[in-house]
Amino acid sequence: MQILLVAATSMETAPFLQQKPAADHLITGVGCPSAIYHITQRLHQIDYDLVIQAGIAGSYTNSLNLGDVVAVTKDNFADVGVLEKNKFYTIFEKGFTGEDEFPFSKGWLNNDNQLLDQIFIKKVTAVTVNTVTDDELRIRQLVSKYDPQIETMEGAALHYVCLQNSIPFLQLRGISNYVGERDKVKWKIAESVEQLNEDLIKIYDALTT
């Protein structure tokens, strides 16, 4: 199986690549614009059977512990829309596009890959934002609108590009912090990266051996 491993930063997949230096991988840089560009470029060069995006994420819920690893079933560009009088409206609600216009389904970028049912990792709903969220009003808006469990800065980019190109994909995330907590002392980046890479290696080995 030809697999592409994608991450925003080299730090997030360094332990994996130490053990699997020959694995095909791509560091996109942080944020959706860079992720969309670099993933699209690579997919036009090589035919992959699967793209795996791995990285850290913030959690909206205490039901996830710092260091937990999760797999995303659906994602969206959560801050693409209109903010009026402290109320957020999606592009679908404003009628700029249909909520079922491909690759969206009811406003979401869904991953229907059967691999999700075969891996042992918790499944979650995600939102992707251009600015890491710490404002209480914005947190309430996102929770009310989407009821997400985690937040990233590149996840929806993966979903969007792979759905557009009909390429199977997985988005795996290690929980490094709770959304709104800006005290980095309370974050668990190293622990989340370690566990993420342990699970990533198990999944990669199962798919390639």
pLDDT at 202: 95
Q: In a structure prediction context, what are the per-residue pLDDT tens digits for the chain, which is 209 residues long?
A: 899 999 999 999 999 999 999 999 999 999 999 999 999 999 999 999 999 999 999 999 999 999 999 999 999 999 998 888 878 889 999 899 999 999 999 999 999 999 999 998 999 999 999 877 677 878 888 888 899 999 999 999 999 999 999 999 999 999 999 998 777 888 899 999 999 999 999 999 999 98
pLDDT at 133: 65
State the residue for tokens 């990533």: 200
Side chain identity at 88, as an amino acid letter? F
d(CA 7, CA 30): 9
pTM (two decimals): 0.94
Q: Which residues contact 55 (CB under 8 A, 6 or more apart)?
A: 7, 8, 9, 12, 13, 152, 154, 172, 173, 174, 196
H-state helical runs in 2-66: 14-19, 32-43
Secondary structure class of 70 (helix, strand, coil) = strand
pLDDT at 135: 75
Q: Are residues 71 and 123 in contact, defined by beta-carbon separation less than 8 angstroms? A: yes
Side chain identity at 152, as an amino acid letter? T
- What would the two tokens of residue 40 be? 């699209």
d(CA 146, CA 23): 35
Structure letter (DSSP) for residue 184: G
d(CA 173, CA 150): 9
pLDDT at 176: 95
Side chain identity at 39, as an amino acid letter? I
